[in-house]
Amino acid sequence: MSPSDTTPRYSVPGLGVRKGGRVIELLQPRLHALNDLALTLKHIHWNVVGPHFIAVHEMLDPQTAAVRSMADGAAERISALGGEPHGTPGALVSERTWDDYSVGRADALAHLGALDLVYSGVVKDHRRAAEEVASIDPVTEDLLIGHLRSLEQFQWFVRAHLENGSGNLIQAGASSEAEAAEATAPVRKTTGKKTTGTKRTAKKATSAKRTR
Ligand SMILES: [Fe+2]
């Protein structure tokens, strides 16, 4: 393992600065992903409209609080390892590897379809980081596993709204948030509800990178 600019001057006892630096390097993108997710959840909380407004609006606040707490845990672990957590909006935007959430004012299914994709990106990258860190630092692995337990439960809450009678997700195969939002349109039509805003935002949206 070669030293990187995340190598701290000291780290937790028994780990060493090189390994500590690698763990910091793995944790920083997870911190950005969690801060981004917390903001995205609030964005949806504010922009969801339609007949399922209150259910989704209220479901997202406990998720936001939990994700903020996960971000705090990741940042404080970076500090404990002797590193410097980057928590500013500018650092988040310049260092992240994905696009901004792309759905604006839209109904519940459109947002949940897009949010499922967001959770998939965060969970996949969290799992990858947990796997790599397992052989270096079991304490950080434990932190990430704790995050994953909740993140995967939250994604289930989202997916439970998107499953059709055959047990499939109605937006399965979508490769962008806009596409996922649009894929929920047939379900909205069968319930006779108006698809406020979804088409308009889908057209304007840029496709999101999948990793978070
Ligand atoms: Fe609120």
* Nearest of 157, 86, 89, 85 to residue 119 by alpha carbon: 157
Q: Residue 88: CB partners within 8 Å, gap ≥ 6?
A: none
* CA–CA dist 85, 88 (Å, integer): 9
Average pLDDT estimate for 15-39: 97
pLDDT tens digits for range 114-127: 999 999 999 999 99
Residue 188: what pLDDT? 58
Q: Residue 3: CB partners within 8 Å, gap ≥ 6?
A: 17, 18, 21
CATH class of 17-204: mainly alpha
Which pTM does this prediction carry? 0.86
pLDDT tens digits for range 55-69: 999 999 999 999 999
Residue 173: what pLDDT? 86
Residue 10: what pLDDT? 86
Average pLDDT estimate for 75-79: 98
DSSP 49: E
Separation of CA 45 and ligand 1 centre (Å): 7
One-letter amino acid at 151 equals: L
Residue 207: what pLDDT? 42
Separation of CA 166 and ligand 1 centre (Å): 34
Separation of CA 19 and ligand 1 centre (Å): 41
**Residue owning tokens 């897009």:** 114
Domain ranges of the chain: 17-204
DSSP 163: B
